Structure 1
Amino acid sequence: MRALPTPGRRCQIVRFAAVGGVNTLTFSACYLPLHRLLPYFAAYTAAFVTSMVGSFFLNTCFTYRTRPTWTKFLLFPLTQVTNYGVQSAGLVALVGWCGMNTAVAPLVAALCALPFSYLVSRRILRPSARTGPTTKAGPPPVRSGGPA
């Protein structure tokens, strides 16, 4: 059984959810106008990419409180591959199989992808201490001879 999240981790999850709310608004602000001009899936993809760039900066600076770097920026789309896949499959299923309205279906699909998105983005933007170089201070060297 897993331990409960620490208070710091809980705050991080709350910040992630807040960023998700902002991303949802950004996505909707892009998707809904584009939906009138483009096929729904093209509008969805353009809105997704736009909100992903915003998500990177909000998550690095606000959620995980880490410095944005070019490396993280270039890796961040990898964190969204799962998210995009889950959302895309959900969108197609909700619209094609369930007949859901194309203006609402992306929001429902996004909710299904949230847990995956959090875990993967945390892994990329806040790598564990084990992934970086280690500089452990070992015991002091033993000196031979003479009093200590």
Structure 2
Amino acid sequence: MLFVYSGGNGMKLLTKRQIGEIIRFGFVGGLATLIQYTIYIILLRFIGVNFSYTVGYLGSLFFNFILTNYFTFKTIPTKKKGMRFLLAHGFNYLLQMGLLNLFVNINIEPKIAPFIVYSISIPINFFLVKKALK
């Protein structure tokens, strides 16, 4: 089954491979996000929002890199891909930190704010990581 989306040049079909990548990305990203959020919530009891979030992000990064290569996009990790992955995630981290601080500063509960951050940053991250690894 193929799905249609509206691209810049009109309607395009998504192939089974592309749909599979999106589903696998969601699965791996969900696990990585769960790891990140769990670390964040545990540390939030002891240290500040930004440091807790950063440690959680770093804690899920290695797991995310390995599974994204082997499982999501079915590629072999290399140093070059690792560097591009880190650049994509560097941008993603800065985006997430900016959004997290924005939401916390407008009085959204720090335990809830990451979910809003994820809903914005994850779709952007999909395209960045795909470009970095392929």
The verdict on a shared fold, with TM-score over 0.5 as the criterion, is: yes
1:89 maps to: 98
Q: More strand by proportion, 1 or 2?
A: 2
Give, in whole Å, the separation in 1 of the partners of 2:91 and 2:55. 17
- 2:92 paired with 1:103: no
Q: CA deviation at 1:5?
A: 1.4
Q: Within 5 Å, give how 1:32-111 maps onto structure 2.
A: 32-97=41-106, 99-111=107-119
Letter in 1 for 2:129: S
Unaligned runs of 5+ in 1: 127-148
Query: Which of structure 1's runs of 4+ aligned residues deviate more than 4 A?
Result: none
1:114 maps to: 122
* Fraction of identical pairs, as percent: 28
TM-score by length of 1: 0.79
Larger Rg: 1
TM-score by length of 2: 0.87
Letter in 1 for 2:115: L
Letter in 1 for 2:16: P
Letter in 1 for 2:102: A
Q: Contact (CA 8 Å) 1:86, 1:112: kept in 2 or not? A: no
Unaligned runs of 5+ in 2: 1-9
Letter in 1 for 2:133: L
1:124 maps to: 132
Give, in whole Å, the separation in 1 of the partners of 2:63 and 2:11. 32
The correspondence for 2:34, drawn from 15, 19, 25, is 25
Letter in 1 for 2:29: G
